[in-house]
Structure 1
Amino acid sequence: KSSVPWPGNNYIIRSAISGQVLTLIEGQVVLAPPGGKGSIHWACVQTKGWLGFKNTVSGRFLGHGKHGNLICSAGKHQSWENFCVRMTPDGDYILLMTHFERLWHVGTKNDKGKEKLAKIGERMEEAIIWEFIKV
C-alpha cells in the first residue's frame, strides 16, 4: 500500500505495475529493479505549494529538460521541478508536471529507440501509476 507523499519525508517511488523504482544512476533518471546500483531515495519538499523530489545522494531535484525527459540536475526547486501528485481510485498515484498552463502526466516515451521517462501529455491511460514507499 502506498504512503501519501508529504513534504519532509523520504520515499522510494515505485511503478505499481512493473515494481521498478525511480532511480538516479550515472546522472540518468530511469526505472530500475530495486536492489541494483543507483540512488532510489527521494526527499519530498514543497515550494510555493508545489511538491518537489530531491535525490538524497546527489542533492539535485527531479525535473524535466527542454524536451520533456525527466532529469535530475537542478540545485533549486523551481518551475521545471514542480510536481502535482494525484491519488487514483485504487490508492496509488499519478505524477503530473506543468506544461505551460496544463498538467501533463509522467510516463515513458520512445526517444531514439530508448524508453525514457518523460512528461508525456494529458492522456491518463499512458501515465505510469506510482507507489510511494516511505523510508
Structure 2
Amino acid sequence: MSTTHSDLCSAPESEYCQSTPDIGMVTPTHTMSSTDRMEHSCSCSIHKIEAKDTPPFPDQTFAIRERNTGRYITLVEGNLCVRENIGDQGGWHWICVETQGWLGFRSPVSATYMGHDTNKNIWAEHKHHKEHEYFCARKHPHGGYMLLKRHDDELWKITVSNDFRLIETTGDGTLWDFVKVSA
C-alpha cells in the first residue's frame, strides 16, 4: 500500500499511535507546557525534552514545535510536515547550523536541510546549506519565534497549510518554540 505525502501529513493522529507495517512508528500521547520538563512514560528513545523559551543557536539540536497546537516539524518518510505524535524515529530532531550568519536546520536522520522550492513549499531535500536553506528566527512579543525564510531580497514567514505541510507566506506566519533536545 503506497502512502502519499498528503496522506502522511493529514491522516488522523490516532492512526500513528501504534506500530504499523506501512509507517512503523510507535508514538506516545502527551501534553507539554512551555515551561515544564517532561519525562516520557513510553519505552521509546525520547527520554527528556526540556521545554522553555530557547532561541535557536548553532550546534544545538531542537524539536521545533508549533506554539498554538503543540505539533512538531517532522520528517515522515521523506516528507516535511507538522505532527502531534512525533514517535521515536527521530524525524523531529533538527540540528541548527550557521553559514554566513544564516541559520539552517539539518535532519540527523536524512542529513537534509529544510529549504524551499519554487512553489512556496518548505521541504527537506538537499544535503547542503545554501540560499534556499537560509532561515532566521525573530523573537515574537507574545512568546515564541517567527521562522523567516530568505526569499530573494525579502524574508517570508513560515506557516502551516490546511494539509499540515509547511509553506512560505507574506501573510501571518506561525509562532514556533525551539525545544532543546537532551538525552
| Residue of structure 2 equivalent to 1:105 | 157
Please give the alpha-carbon distance, in whole angstroms, between the structure 2 residues aligned to 1:78 and 1:56. 18
Please give the alpha-carbon distance, in whole angstroms, between the structure 1 residues aligned to 2:153 and 2:122. 19
The structural deviation recorded for 1:115 is: 4.4
Letter in 2 for 1:120: T
| Residue of structure 2 equivalent to 1:31 | 82
Counterparts of 1:1-135 in structure 2 under 5 Å?
A: 1-36=52-87, 39-109=91-161, 114-121=163-170, 123=171, 126-135=172-181
Greater relative contact order: 1 or 2 (C-alpha under 8 angstroms, separation 6 or more)?
A: 1
The structural deviation recorded for 1:48 is: 0.7
Letter in 1 for 2:84: P
Count of matched residue pairs:
129
Q: Where does structure 1 lack aligned partners over 5 or more consecutive residues?
A: none
CA contact (8 A) 2:137 2:148 kept: yes
Letter in 2 for 1:91: G
Please give the alpha-carbon distance, in whole angstroms, between the structure 2 residues aligned to 1:24 and 1:115. 12
| Percent of residue pairs bearing the same amino acid type | 35
CA contact (8 A) 1:25 1:37 kept: no
Task: Provide the aligned C-alpha RMSD in A.
Answer: 1.4
Q: Structure 1-normalised TM-score? A: 0.89
Q: Who wins on radius of gyration, i.e. which is larger?
A: 2
CA contact (8 A) 1:28 1:72 kept: yes
Distance 1:26 1:7, change over 3 A: same
